[in-house]
Chains A and B, each alone.
Chain A
Amino acid sequence: MSSAPAAHGAAPAPKFAEHFASLEVQNHAARLGMWLFLSTEILLFAGLFACYACYRFLYPEAFAEASRHLDLTLGTVNTVVLITSSLTAALAVHYAKEGKNNMVALMVALTLLMALGFLVIKGFEYSHKFHEGTLPGKHYSYQGLQLPGAPMYFTIYFLSTGLHAFHVTIGMGVLAWMGIRAITQKNFGPNNYTGVELASMYWHLVDLVWIFLFPMLYLV
């Protein structure tokens, strides 16, 4: 690689596309683009929230009753895990700014570990539901809860947590990519941390969506 040694963050070599006026403008553009993209993600979930609101209004008892059938302990553990992972993702940005590439990689690894933990716990919850038959729509076969509207609750449960889990997976991919760059290229530094920052923003979104989903599905 032709760039100067970047281990101390001395002379990072950010990729500069010449159609921008300056590197600053380029970073500004990247951040603005990410914010816009995140707003589309929120709107995607907002559609599901609207479905939830509508059917909760139509079937208040069934929804209240069905939410008791979720495992509150596992849900809470998962919430804590995800919030913590948001912290480590933020720390990764912090270290990237300081040019401490090894710490970036470590923080990314911790974040990924927690993300994996989240998915494993979610997997346990899912398999329990498959076993019980608390499934969406026509696949609902659980005898313990036969209120009209209960299958609808589980339709929304699976759709929203499934879509969220999908986003977790994407986020893991993006973070892993940054981690690999931190290890192999070692060129994050005070002038070159936008990539980590964007990945971490995405991760905060994944976290944020869960913070809405958790009370919506498990608590109220």
Chain B
Amino acid sequence: MTPSSSPTAEGVLPGHDDAGGHAGHHDHPSYLVDGTTVKSWLLTIDHKRIGLMFLASVLFFFLVGGVFALAVRVELLTPGPTIMDAMTYNRAFTLHGLIMIFLFMIPAIPAAFGNFMLPLMLGAKDVAFPRLNLASFYIYVTGAVLMVWGMLNGGLDTGWTFYTPYSTHTTTTVAPVLFGAFVIGFSSIATGLNFIVTVHTMRAPGITWFKLPLFVWAIYATSCIQVLATPVIGLLTLLVVGENLFSFGLFDPARGGDPVLFQHLFWFYSHPAVYIMVLPAFGVMSEVVAAFSRKNIFGYRAVAYSSLGIAFVGFFAWGHHMFVSGQSTFDAGVFGVLTMLVGVFTAIKVFNWVGTVYKGAVDFRTPFAYFCGFLFFTVFGGMTGIAVGTVSLDMPWHDTYFVVAHFHFIMVGATLMAFLAAFHYWFPKMFGRMYHEGWGLVSAALIILGFNATFIPQFLLGNYGMPRRYYEYPERFQALNVASTAGASLLAFGFVIVAIYLTYALFYGRVAGKNPWRSKGYEWLSESPPPTHNFVGPQPTFPEEPHYYVAPKKDEVNDV
């Protein structure tokens, strides 16, 4: 191991230098133990601690959203009322959708893992604006509290899309919930802005743009979308709140307003928002596939550029949500074609990932298992996306369970797989401990199986014509609904196992050492878990390519 750097080196923590010792957690305490008071966590400006606080929060909301998903699924076990009344059902799926989208999916990978990894991958000590970073967390918490408070006091029954004019007339609590969404938007913007500036200004010497790890490229592209799209939904949520409270009439046909305008503005954000969710997932997978195939990523530049490509064309595809809104055939055609372009860029990535695995020395671990699930969900979900992006096909499928299954496959399937892969891949980096590989593989199998069992029946249901968001349904749909609920239970069971063995590993897991996967990612050059300012000693330089796995040497450092 490298000898400790001179005590005068920049960034070394004060008060922990007994010269001549060994670098690592003895002289430079890891970020986890450098300050153990509650205050040292709640007021930290260390990107790693903020990342962990985000991680804890999104996991919490994933649990809440998941409980409501199960409630919805249980309700749909029988054709009539099962465990709740119709109004409660409407509130339950709205709550599920809102929490999953705004409080879990959007911040999950960027705010939790992005925050933790981005500076490490750039060889930087922190993000550009550490205080803004902490503020972003508290803004998120404030928005979340507002939202949840509103949902508990009155509840919202509009679905997460809060389409007008229903949302401007409903007597349920629109104001606090949408205002909460507005506040969360600021958090999203702050994080995105911070990351863009960080990538521009904080790269260590030697990290040129084309030496950036692909996860960084993906987060960068995501941040651009966050910064450019979020203000529009911010304005829109405010307008709907205003409409609901003061009857401005902007989107109310009774007052000469145009509800379709609402839909345009809504989807102008919400379509790119799916890429806010899925691009970071693509980024994670690029890291994981190279690390566990032990091969340099195939077509680095194509993967990097296609992230930017998706981010760009993502802004011009929103109209595919409105094929049945009275849009002209010409518009629908244009939006259809633009939608296909997203498919082209995604396909580039898929081919490159497959090209990376091809002839690689695959090390089949839990993250790689999630990669396999991911590949399936992305391809299958992407193909059904091309299908619903085709105007003539979307006409019958619109607002049926086919669409529900499609967006769960691509958005949730892909993102969730990546979230879990990231969690397992970076767990040793973040906590310095290993989880149990056997349980990891078993639960991965359960989750992938459960996910398929939940949503494949929903594709069929949609195809047979079952509309989404309906409380009751004809008898003939029951078998498939039961199958879907059974799948959801399997899925939930898988998550419980993950929660158990990861919590166990957190305290009793085998000590991981610096780089247990022998990964080539820059983040592994630091200690596991890293010290407060990430790298001990002078700023590191990065002469190698980021995914340089060609011909791994046998005697590579592997200090497990």
User: Is A18 a contact partner of B227 (Cβ separation < 8 A)?
Assistant: no
Interface: B170 (CB within 8 A): no
Contacts of A40 in B (CB 8 A): 189, 193, 227-228, 230-231
In chain A, residues 48-72, which have Cβ atoms closer than 8 Å to a Cβ of chain B?
48, 50-51, 54-55, 58-59
Known A44-B231, A59-B256, A138-B255; contact A19-B248, beta-carbon cutoff 8 A: no
Q: What's the dominant secondary structure at chain A's contact region?
A: helix
Against A, the Cβ 8 Å flags (1 = close, 0 = not) of B394-433 are 0000000000000000000000000000000000000000
Are B256 and A149 closer than 8 Å at their CB atoms?
Answer: yes
The stretch from A24-32, A99-107, A194-202, A206-214 touching chain B is A24-32
Q: What chain A residues lie within 8 Å of B258 (beta carbons)? A: 54-55, 58
Interface check A136, CB cutoff 8 A:
yes
Q: Pick the interface stretch among B98-106, B194-202, B496-504.
A: B194-202
Bound complex: CA A17 to CA B10 (Å): 12
Which residues of A sit under 8 angstroms from B193, Cβ to Cβ?
33, 36-37, 40
Q: Which residue of A lies closest to B124 (CB)?
A: A19
On whether A138 and B247 interact (CB within 8 A), knowing A36-B193, A44-B234, the answer reads yes
Q: Which residue of A lies closest to B129 (CB)?
A: A33
Q: Compute how far the CA of A120 lies from the CA of B246 in the bound complex, rounded to whole angstroms.
A: 25
- Which of B228, B232, B255 touches A137 (beta carbons < 8 Å)? B255
CA distance A19 to B204 in the complex (A): 11
Chain A residues with Cβ below 8 Å from B124 are 19
Tell me the complex Cα distance, A36–B225, Å. Answer: 12
* In contact, A136 and B256 (Cβ under 8 angstroms): no
- Interface contact A29-B265, CB-CB below 8 Å: no
**How many A-B pairs fall under 8 Å by CB?**
110
**What's the minimum C-beta distance from A50 to chain B, rounded to whole angstroms?**
7
The answer to whether A18 and B11 touch across the interface, beta carbons within 8 angstroms, is yes
Instruction: List the B side residues contacting A149 at CB < 8 Å.
Output: 256
In the complex, the answer to whether B248 meets A159 with C-beta atoms within 8 Å is yes
Residues of B within 8 A of A36 (CB): 193, 196-197, 227
Interfacial residues of chain B within 229-254, with CB under 8 A of chain A in the complex: 230-232, 234-236, 239, 242, 246-250
Query: With the chains together, A46 CA to B227 CA distance in Å?
Result: 14
Q: Which residues of B contact A37 (CB under 8 A)?
A: 193
Collect the chain B residues with CB atoms within 8 Å of residue A55's CB: 258
Cβ of B246: which chain A residues have Cβ within 8 Å of it? 136-139
A151 close to B (CB within 8 Å): yes
By a CB distance below 8 angstroms, the chain A residues around B200 are 28-29, 32
Are B232 and A43 interface neighbours, CB within 8 A? Answer: yes
B28 within 8 A of A: no
Give Cα distance in the complex from A138 to B124, angstroms.
Answer: 55
Please tell me if A123 contacts chain B, counting CB pairs below 8 Å: no
Q: How far is the CA of A152 from the CA of B256 in the complex (A)?
A: 7
Q: Do the beta carbons of B197 and A151 come within 8 Å of each other?
A: no
Interchain CB contact under 8 A, A138 and B236: no
Give CA–CA (A37, B193) in the complex, Å: 7
Task: Check A127 for interface membership: any CB of B closer than 8 A.
Answer: no
CB–CB A19/B130 < 8 A: yes
What is the minimal beta-carbon distance from B173 to any residue of chain A, in angstroms? 21
Nearest-CB distance from B225 to chain A (Å)?
A: 12
Query: 1/0 per residue A5-49: CB within 8 Å of B?
Result: 000000000000111110001001100110011011101101110
B264 to chain A: which residues have CB within 8 Å? 50
CA distance in complex: A156, B129 (Å): 36
B208-239 interface with A by 8 A CB criterion: 227-228, 230-232, 234-236, 239
- B228, A33: Cβ atoms under 8 Å? no
- If A19-B124, A41-B231 touch, does A137 touch B248 (CB 8 Å cutoff)? yes
Residue of A nearest to B243 (CB): A137
Q: Is the CB of B201 within 8 A of A29?
A: yes
Bound CA–CA A48/B228 (angstroms): 15
Within 8 Å by CB of B250, from A17, A32, A43, A152, lies A152
- Please indicate the chain B residues that have their CB under 8 angstroms from the CB of A148 in the complex: 256
12 pairs, A vs B, C-beta closer than 8 Å: A19-B11, A19-B126, A21-B539, A29-B128, A29-B201, A33-B194, A40-B189, A54-B261, A137-B249, A152-B249, A152-B256, A155-B249
Interface residues in chain A, defined as those with a beta carbon under 8 Å from any beta carbon in chain B:
17-21, 25, 28-29, 32-33, 36-37, 39-41, 43-44, 46-48, 50-51, 54-55, 58-59, 136-139, 148-149, 151-152, 155-156, 159
Smallest CB-CB A-B distances: 3 pairs:
A137-B249, A47-B235, A137-B248
